[in-house]
Amino acid sequence: MKKGFLFAAILFVAASFNNTISAQSKIGYFEDQSVIALFPGIQKLDTVLRSYQQDSLQDEYNYTLKDYQVKDSIYRKDSVDLSKRPKALQMATDDLNRLKYKLINWQQYSQQAMEQKQENLLMPYRQKIAAALAEVVREQKYDFVLKQESLSPYTNPSIADNITIRVAMKLKLPLPKEVEEAFRVATGGAPAAAKAPAAAPAAKAPAKKG
């Protein structure tokens, strides 16, 4: 069997399987970052993160460096005395190595701290989104919810099953007008009526001369 024919056969079987699943189940797709971006004032979190990096993390780095320098100086000065006390030597060595490791890997440490700080700031938003998502799935009776990024680029899912939009609407978050319009049409709603031009004011009848 030729490779081209085999590949085509596999695609046909996969498509048939997906169509069968789709016919039997209601599947939606969702992307939480798009919802988070719609919250009013969410951009202010960038300012909070920059302040955390420039103030808190920089202070921690300066303190860690100073602590290392002081302890390294004491370690060198007391090395002879410490060598006579194995337990004290081990404790001092471990403490110094801990600080050295933190300084050497500061970039990785600070990145992880920034990510943790960001997650803490986003947690209230994620909780609201999770609650709204659960309501939408229950109300619309979805069997499966897929991450939008996991969808095949060769598929063209209906915007009606874009749960991201439904969740944003549930949370009363502002959506682009074109997205609202496309979603309304896809879900069976009538297109929004175009606004009629304002009527010209009626001409006043000339006053009768007495």
Whether the CB-CB separation of 142 and 25 falls below 8 Å is answered with no
Tokens of 176: 């682009």
pLDDT on residue 192? 52
Can you list the alpha helix ranges (DSSP code H) found in 37-173? 44-51, 58-77, 79-83, 86-104, 106-140, 163-170
Is 200 part of a structural domain of the chain? no
What's residue 197's pLDDT?
46
The pLDDT of residue 45:
94
Q: Are 82 and 88 in contact (CB under 8 A)?
A: yes
Answer whether residue 98 shows pLDDT above 60.
Answer: yes
Share of the chain above pLDDT 70, in %: 78
Whether 177 is in a domain gets the answer yes
Predicted confidence at residue 14, as pLDDT, reads: 42
How large is the average pLDDT for residues 173-184? 94
Amino acid at 37: A
Task: Say if residues 31 and 167 touch (Cβ distance below 8 Å).
Answer: no
Structure tokens at 77: 């000065």
Q: Per the domain annotation, does 160 fall within a domain?
A: yes
Q: Give the model's pLDDT for residue 151.
A: 79
Q: Tell me what pLDDT residue 3 has.
A: 44
Contacts of 184 (CB under 8 A, 6+ apart): 190, 191, 192
Q: What is the pLDDT of residues 1-40, one digit of tens each?
A: 444 443 343 334 344 445 544 457 899 999 999 999 999 9
Residue 166 lies in a domain: yes
Residue 210 lies in a domain: no
**Cα distance between residue 149 and residue 32, in whole Å:** 11
Residue 71 resides in a domain? yes
Rounded Cα–Cα distance for residues 117 and 135 (Å):
28
Domains of the chain: total: 1
Query: Whole-prediction pTM value?
Result: 0.68
In a domain, 117, yes or no: yes
126 within 8 A of 32, measured Cβ to Cβ: yes
Which neighbouring-strand residues pair with 144? 27
Q: Which of 180, 175, 170 is nearest to 131 (CA)?
A: 170
Residue written as tokens 């060198």?
A: 76
Question: By the 8 A CB rule, do 27 and 160 touch?
Answer: no
* Mean pLDDT (the chain, rounded): 82
CB-based contact 145:11 (threshold 8 Å): no
What pLDDT score does 121 carry?
A: 96
| 8 domain-assigned | no
Confidence at 198, pLDDT banded by 50, 70, 90 = very low
Domain region containing 125: 24-186
- Of 19-23, 158-162, 168-172, 202-206, give the lowest mean pLDDT range: 202-206
